[in-house]
Amino acid sequence: MAKREIIKAKQEKAVMRVQKFRTDYAELRAQFERVKSEHEAATRAELLSGASSSTTPLTPAPGDTRRRYATGGPQPVPEEVSESPFRGSTPMNMNGTSREHHALREHSFIQNTDTRLDEFIAQGRAVLDDLVDQRNVLKGTQRRLLDAANTLGLSRDVIGWIERRSNRSYGRAMMVAVPSWYFK
C-alpha cells in the first residue's frame, strides 16, 4: 500500500514506518521468545528439583508464584523516538500499572465516544423528524392555497405564473442582498 502512494514524501514516510513496524515486531517477537524460554527453563528446573526431593510440598508457597514470574534479567532499553503506537517512550512497568492505566483510559474514551455518538444520532433523528413535520405542514399549506386559488377561479397557468414570479423575485432579492452584505 505504501508503494501505491502518489506523493513521494508520503511514500518514503510510509516505507520508513513499515520498516520500523517490522523491526519493532522482530524485537518484540525475540523478547517474547526469550521470556518464554526463560519461563520454560524455570518451570523445568522447578519440576526437576521437585521430583528429586520428596519433602517438597505439592502446593506452592504464597511467594513462589510472584518469584516465578519476576524478571531478573536486564530490561530492554527503549529507543529514544518510537513511531510505534504500541510502544511507549518509557520502559513498561512489570507490575502492569501502566498497562492497566492505559486500558482504563481507553475504556473511558470508548464509553465517552459511545455516549457522544448516541447523542448525535438522537439529535439527527430529532432534526429529521422536525423536517418531516415541517414538510407535511408546508404541503398542507400549499394544498390549501391551491384549493383557495381554484375556488377563486384562478387557472393552473396563472398559479404557475405566480410561482415563477415569486422564484424570480427571490433570486433578484438574493442578487441585491449578497452584494449589499459584501460591501457592508
Q: Are 48 and 54 in contact (CB under 8 A)?
A: no
* Residue 85 CB neighbours (<10 A): 7
Separation in Å, CA 114 to CA 35, 110, 118, 134: 38, 6, 6, 30
Q: For the ranges 7-11, 13-17, 51-55, which has the lowest average pLDDT?
A: 51-55
Q: Which three cell numbers stand for residue 64?
A: 513462589
Mutual orientation of helices 156-182 and 97-152 as an angle, nearest 10°? Answer: 130
Interval 139-168: pLDDT, tens: 999 889 888 877 777 677 777 787 788 777
Looking from the CA of 128 toward its CB, the CA atoms found within 13 Å total 6
Q: Which three cell numbers stand for residue 168?
A: 424570480
In the chain, the amino acid numbered 74 is P
Is pLDDT above 80 for 11?
yes
Using the structure block, give the residue that is written with the C-alpha cell 532499553: 77
Q: Which three cell numbers stand for residue 81?
A: 523516538
Q: Parse the chain into domains and list their residue ranges.
A: 1-75, 119-182
Interval 12-35: pLDDT, tens: 888 888 899 999 999 999 999 999
pTM above 0.75, yes or no: no
Separation in Å, CA 152 to CA 25, 74, 143: 82, 97, 14
Q: How many Å apart are CA 76 and CA 35, to the nearest integer?
A: 12
Q: How many Å apart are CA 150 and CA 7, to the nearest integer?
A: 64
Q: How many Å apart are CA 148 and CA 179, to the nearest integer?
A: 37
